[in-house]
């Protein structure tokens, strides 16, 4: 059943969008989805199918002359439904974004979950502006990084010592080096389909094709990219997720060799595949038995699912957790944080970790503001309820339209997988049978209805504190229409 959403309670957190979710309400108190329009133009949200995004196309034409592939990340999409260009977003306010052609959308990409307070949040901007007035970086120790590290140690179950970096991939590299330094072992065990960044150290079997996976009991380690050294790939042992017996056998085969097991506790990069009950506890026990460092990649889940992230949610404490995305609230920052003894070699400088921009006061101030704002009463609850409302709407409309799918995740992050398989999906390989074409059509229909979701069906929808009752009502209606169009 659709739960009636509440606007998130903190006035400071609830930003107004560029488009107005007007005041009209239905008799039952639910906001009027039809009243959501662009404030500047009065246009309905969404992109019109008969109006190709000409300005975005022109920017992409220019981009391709000077940016490799026209993009700044291999993961960035280069097309929008039928059009051979990405949308160029030029403005964001609260839960809304607007592209170069003036099309506005309610945004559920949120910079892959980073903009957890919504876009251009007033308090966030004020914090950044006041830090700007004092300088952005000095290449010295600064007071804000200390306060931020203290806040992380208060909130994160495993954090006793913290180191900052600037992207998820960088912080992952630091965590892996810390684990290798601490244990004196080389190999890292990661799970098939989990994503831990683009750098060599763990870009293995991120998204292997069916023919590349190898046997389930002994998956093949596959370099995710050309240009990676074979030795690095050999040091990454791959296991299937959610399969305790197979993992036990793989660990036996590599006894004494494995420095760390690393996992996305909820697999944000595999359409929010959830851990089977008891599986994270099993990882904890195996790591304890074999003196392996347990690393939770909480780059997506951290400070998004709650102050203590997935560790708190599942009651399982890792040895090191890695954070990015939500922590920065939309500015680039990241951290790895863990047990004092494991981080001791980093502290003693025998395990080296550097970075000009690490812990810079601009991003640290933004992060501190973000973490404190998320702890305002009702902030996490508002995020959760909004997401659950959309998950319910997808389930209900797919049932009504007889479109087979699985909706999985938690309120703050979730995904729909179009598949005939009964849910929940447990393994990366289950996703290989998903109907990617139908996901693409659903996403395009949503864009036309004014809702911007991730272009990749293997990623997630994300919610911010700026998403309120109006946006939920609008999105629920949009989901219903989009589902009818793909049925
Ligand atoms: C779970 C996870 N780990 C690591 C990364 C890499 O982070 P970054 O893109 O900031 O390097 C990502 C990025 O999407 C991620 O989702």
Residue 1 pLDDT = 27
- What's the rounded mean pLDDT across residues 340-365? 98
| pLDDT band with cut points at 50, 70 and 90 for residue 6 | very low
Residue nearest to ligand 1 atom 3, measured at CA: 196
| pLDDT tens per residue, range 127-146 | 999 999 999 999 999 999 99
Residue 40 CB: number of other CB atoms within 10 A? Answer: 13
Residue whose C-alpha is closest to residue 197's, from 219, 173, 221, 177: 173
Catalytic entry in 108, 195, 279, 428 = 195
| pLDDT tens per residue, range 214-263 | 999 999 999 999 999 999 999 999 999 999 999 999 999 999 999 999 99
pLDDT of 95 above 50: yes
Q: Would residue 297 show up in a list of annotated catalytic residues for this protein?
A: yes
Q: Would residue 195 show up in a list of annotated catalytic residues for this protein?
A: yes
- Residues within a 6 A CB radius of ligand 1: 112, 167-169, 172, 195-197, 264, 268-269, 297, 299-300, 324
Q: Compute the distance between CA of residue 203 and CA of residue 176 in angstroms, rounded to an integer.
A: 13
CA distances from 361 to 126, 128, 129, 198, 367 (A): 14, 9, 12, 26, 10
| pLDDT band with cut points at 50, 70 and 90 for residue 32 | low
- Contact 172/196 with Cβ under 8 angstroms? yes
| pLDDT tens per residue, range 326-337 | 999 999 999 999
Cα of 393 vs centre of ligand 1, distance in Å, is: 28
Residues near 253 by Cβ (< 8 Å), separated by ≥ 6? none
Residue 475 pLDDT = 98
- CATH architecture under which domain 138-374 falls: 3-Layer(aba) Sandwich (3.40)
CA 463 to chain centroid, in Å, comes to 10
Q: Which atom of ligand 1 is nearest to the CA of 199?
A: 11
Q: pTM for this structure?
A: 0.93
Cα of 188 vs centre of ligand 1, distance in Å, is: 17
- CATH architecture under which domain 19-120+380-486 falls: Alpha-Beta Complex (3.90)
Q: What are phi and psi of 146, to 5 degrees?
A: -70, -45
Domain with CATH 3.90.1150.10 in the chain: 19-120+380-486
Q: Which atom of ligand 1 is nearest to the CA of 324?
A: 10
Catalytic entry in 297, 319, 430, 435 = 297
Q: Would residue 470 show up in a list of annotated catalytic residues for this protein?
A: no
- Contact 55/87 with Cβ under 8 angstroms? no
Residue 462 pLDDT = 98
Residue nearest to ligand 1 atom 16, measured at CA: 300
Q: What are phi and psi of 113, to 5 degrees?
A: 95, -5
Q: Which atom of ligand 1 is nearest to the CA of 334?
A: 10
Which residues does residue 20 pair with via DSSP β-bridges, in sequence order? 37
| pLDDT tens per residue, range 265-312 | 999 999 999 999 999 999 999 999 999 999 999 999 999 999 999 999
Cα of 30 vs centre of ligand 1, distance in Å, is: 37
Q: Which atom of ligand 1 is nearest to the CA of 269?
A: 16
pLDDT of 14 above 80: no
pLDDT of 42 above 80: no
pLDDT of 43 above 90: no
Choice from 175, 188, 300, 304 to test ligand 1 binding pocket (greatest atom count within 8 A of CB): 300
Cα of 286 vs centre of ligand 1, distance in Å, is: 25
Q: Order of strands, edge to edge, in the sheet holding 461-462? A: 406-410, 413-417, 461-462
- What's the rounded mean pLDDT across residues 383-410? 98
Cα of 480 vs centre of ligand 1, distance in Å, is: 31
pLDDT of 420 above 90: yes
Report helix, strand or coil for 37.
Answer: strand
Cα of 198 vs centre of ligand 1, distance in Å, is: 8
Residue 11 pLDDT = 34
| pLDDT band with cut points at 50, 70 and 90 for residue 23 | very low
Residue 482 pLDDT = 98
Both tokens assigned to 433: 């049978």
- Contact 395/2 with Cβ under 8 angstroms? no
Choice from 324, 334, 363, 455 to test ligand 1 binding pocket (greatest atom count within 8 A of CB): 324
Residue nearest to ligand 1 atom 2, measured at CA: 196
Cα of 95 vs centre of ligand 1, distance in Å, is: 22
Q: Are strands 451-452 and 104-107 parallel, antiparallel or unpaired?
A: parallel
Which residues does residue 25 pair with via DSSP β-bridges, in sequence order? 31
424 preceded by cis ω (within 30°)?
yes
pLDDT of 10 above 70: no
Residue nearest to ligand 1 atom 7, measured at CA: 168
Cα of 298 vs centre of ligand 1, distance in Å, is: 9
439/22: higher pLDDT: 439
Residue 474 pLDDT = 98
Choice from 166, 175, 197 to test ligand 1 binding pocket (greatest atom count within 8 A of CB): 197
Cα of 324 vs centre of ligand 1, distance in Å, is: 8
Q: Compute the distance between CA of residue 122 and CA of residue 25 in angstroms, rounded to an integer.
A: 26
Q: Which atom of ligand 1 is nearest to the CA of 325?
A: 10
Average pLDDT over all residues of the chain: 93
pLDDT of 86 above 90: yes
Longest dimension (CA), the chain: 66
Q: Compute the distance between CA of residue 136 and CA of residue 356 in angstroms, rounded to an integer.
A: 12
Domain with CATH 3.40.640.10 in the chain: 138-374
Residue whose C-alpha is closest to residue 258's, from 286, 279, 278: 286
Percent of residues, the chain, with pLDDT higher than 90: 91
Q: Compute the distance between CA of residue 104 and CA of residue 35 in angstroms, rounded to an integer.
A: 14
Residue 411 pLDDT = 98
| pLDDT tens per residue, range 169-202 | 999 999 999 999 999 999 999 999 999 999 999 9
pLDDT of 28 above 80: no
Residue nearest to ligand 1 atom 5, measured at CA: 197
Choice from 196, 262, 304, 363 to test ligand 1 binding pocket (greatest atom count within 8 A of CB): 196
């Amino acid at each position: 059943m659709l739960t009636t959403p509440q606007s998130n309670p903190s006035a400071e957190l609830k930003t107004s969008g560029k488009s107005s979710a007007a005041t009209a309400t239905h008799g039952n108190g639910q906001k009027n989805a039809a009243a959501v329009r662009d404030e500047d133009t009065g246009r309905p949200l969404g992109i019109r199918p008969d109006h190709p995004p000409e300005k975005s196309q022109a920017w992409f034409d220019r981009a391709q002359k000077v940016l490799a592939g026209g993009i700044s990340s291999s993961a960035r999409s280069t097309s929008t439904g039928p059009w051979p260009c990405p949308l160029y977003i030029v403005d964001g306010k609260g839960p809304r974004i607007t592209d170069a052609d003036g099309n506005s959308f309610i945004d559920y990409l949120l910079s892959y979950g980073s903009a957890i307070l919504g876009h251009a949040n007033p308090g966030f901007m004020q914090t950044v502006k006041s830090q700007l007035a004092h300088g952005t970086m000095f290449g010295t120790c600064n007071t804000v990084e200390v306060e931020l590290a203290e806040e992380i140690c208060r909130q994160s179950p495993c954090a006793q010592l913290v180191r900052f970096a600037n992207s998820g991939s960088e912080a992952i590299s630091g965590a892996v080096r810390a684990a290798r330094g601490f244990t004196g072992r080389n190999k890292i065990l990661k799970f098939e389909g989990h994503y831990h960044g683009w750098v060599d150290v763990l870009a293995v079997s991120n998204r292997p094709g069916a023919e590349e996976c190898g046997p389930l009991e002994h998956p093949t380690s596959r370099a995710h990219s050309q240009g990676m050294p074979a030795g690095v790939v050999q040091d990454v042992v791959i296991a299937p997720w959610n399969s305790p017996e197979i993992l036990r056998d793989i660990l036996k085969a590599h006894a004494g060799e494995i420095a760390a097991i690393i996992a996305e506790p909820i697999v944000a990069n595999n359409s929010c595949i959830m851990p089977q009950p008891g599986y994270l506890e099993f990882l904890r026990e195996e790591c304890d038995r074999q003196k392996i460092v347990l690393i939770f990649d909480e780059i997506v889940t951290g400070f998004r699912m709650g102050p203590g992230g997935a560790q708190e949610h599942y009651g399982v404490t890792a040895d090191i957790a890695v954070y990015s995305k939500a922590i920065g609230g939309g500015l680039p920052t990241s951290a790895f944080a863990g047990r004092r003894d494991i981080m001791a070699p980093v502290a003693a400088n025998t395990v080296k970790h550097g970075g000009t921009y690490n812990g810079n006061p601009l991003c640290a101030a933004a992060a501190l503001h973000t973490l404190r704002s998320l702890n305002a009463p009702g902030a996490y609850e508002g995020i959760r309820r909004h997401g659950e409302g959309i998950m319910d709407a997808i389930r209900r409309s797919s049932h009504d339209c007889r479109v087979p799918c699985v909706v999985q995740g938690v309120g703050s992050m979730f995904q729909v997988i179009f598949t005939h398989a009964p849910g929940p999906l447990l393994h990366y390989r289950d996703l290989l049978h998903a109907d990617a074409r139908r996901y693409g059509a659903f996403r395009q229909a949503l864009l036309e209805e004014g809702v911007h979701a991730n272009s990749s069906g293997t990623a997630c929808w994300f919610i911010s504190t700026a998403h309120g009752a109006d946006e939920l009502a609008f999105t629920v209606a949009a989901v219903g229409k989009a589902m009818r169009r793909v049925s």
